[in-house]
Amino acid sequence: MLTSAFSRGDKAATVDSIHNYYEHMVLDELQRQLRDHPHDPDFIADVACVALNHLPPRYIRYDVDMAFYLSPKESMEMEEKVSAAVRSALHFVRQRGQRGA
């Protein structure tokens, strides 16, 4: 139980593993789309934030759990959504950068 874990001081064992499954997918997709065009870490972080804000949160503790429970169709749909979100975020951040230059 989470409450007893907090009282024992095991917070790291219970909540530090929680993350949004899309985070890893977005970073992997960014790396793929920017493979031939390196960018600074601030640009990548900005694009990742914009992309993640256009995807629904999918909080999990272990990536293997999500992979196990997703059907191949759901997995493909998630990959397509991530790819589109990253493309859109890249365009948005690049446009904002050009206006600010």
* pLDDT tens column, 9-55: 555 556 888 999 999 999 999 999 999 887 899 999 999 999 999 99
**H, E, C per residue of the chain:** CHHHHHHHCCHHHHHCCCEEHHHHHHHHHHHHHCCCCCCCHHHHHHHHHHHHCCCCCCEECCHHHHHHHCCHHHHHHHHHHHHHHHHHHHHHHHHHHHHHC
pTM of the model: 0.80
For 46-97, what is each residue's pLDDT tens digit?
999 999 999 999 999 888 888 788 899 999 999 999 999 999 999 999 998 7
